[in-house]
Chain A
């Protein structure tokens, strides 16, 4: 790198890096510190070293060898987040592809139309779903009117999943669109000239080249879903908790900040680990 390039890189990166360091990284380190302190009965922390939070997190239930309530909730959150991500991919990939195919003007209009519902408050939208899925809500009224049996859907995992997919779909579509939009279709033609069928074109050319979008979209869907707490409460009737509910509980009514911090630290380590594995494989590919 020349001196000029280094200077240029510095100008590009330093404002963002400084901002993140100052207003994100330093405050976040505080959470790691909190997780090793004692809880204060009225919320907050006592400044004395303690591993209580981690001990509590890793102590199994009395009648089980490894599982405890927190592990169950972790697993459920990850499972639901995975399901949501897959459904969003199935719906979002063709949608992003369709949008990317349109003329420039239509394209940007469609992308806006995907986002606009999300400028309405999340809570308000989730309550709107409740009115649709209720026992005497829109869906069941419609079914009843058609002489079909009502289906109990509110307060079930299905309702939660609908709400989760709804809340995440645009976060899948945006990065997918950004990566499909610049796809070079001459590659498809070239491949077809060489006798590749549609399946091959998709799996060998289209999918690999739009992979950055798939990964970015999956990250933007998966992670916030794991931490969701509004949808399970409103559409799931609050019957089962996700990680977000437990975090909200620990920083809220339980007033156990060190424990909440410890859950967050473990959660972040797990996700970081996943992302680093992806980076590792991605870089390998890049050098080939």
Chain B
């Protein structure tokens, strides 16, 4: 009876393939990290002056006397992402609340599909919207000379981050058992009271994770930000200033930087910075979802 039949071999092979698939995520992330660090570390421990990198806004890698001040790029990314979250978080959480708690039947199904479609729009198309629709609109409405600004890139980025935040926040709300809602309503709570006093507290971790993933999305976005932000090295003092993002800088300059040069290394240093920030944000989101640090 103890024969290794076809089912046994299929089971073995399937297990092997699934294991390879599962482990590949780790292989790739470690591989990317090793590659980015390898290319950047030579610069970090060589010509890089940490003081200049973090406090100067002079990013002149191709000048005869090159300087590598990344402050404006860091602030650019932070301001665009921050502005995006400012308007995207309420929008997304509101949308998730509506879909999960108030919409019924067809409305809800249609909304879910539309939100998911929003996530599928390529970022270059968003950039296009930023350049050719938002740009003239901002110039006209606010009577400013340039429309490719923190405001423009922030709005575009906010719209781009909204679908993922909405979907994850909705999942978190849906994970709250209906029995809680029924129990609270049976106590005489209105729908709104149920949402505020029971559902949101119960799904707090998931909602926070949704926001963090949105932030991670914002930090990493490149093309749309490159197109909509104006791509000008500048410390912004208002939403109507153009800025330049870390990601956009890498995308725009890497093709022109000779492999192995200081310029090349400096761009990889920006990459390490981005990698570390998004990694920390995503890891935090993940830990929050799992409820680490919960009392």
Q: Do the two chains belong together in a single complex? A: no
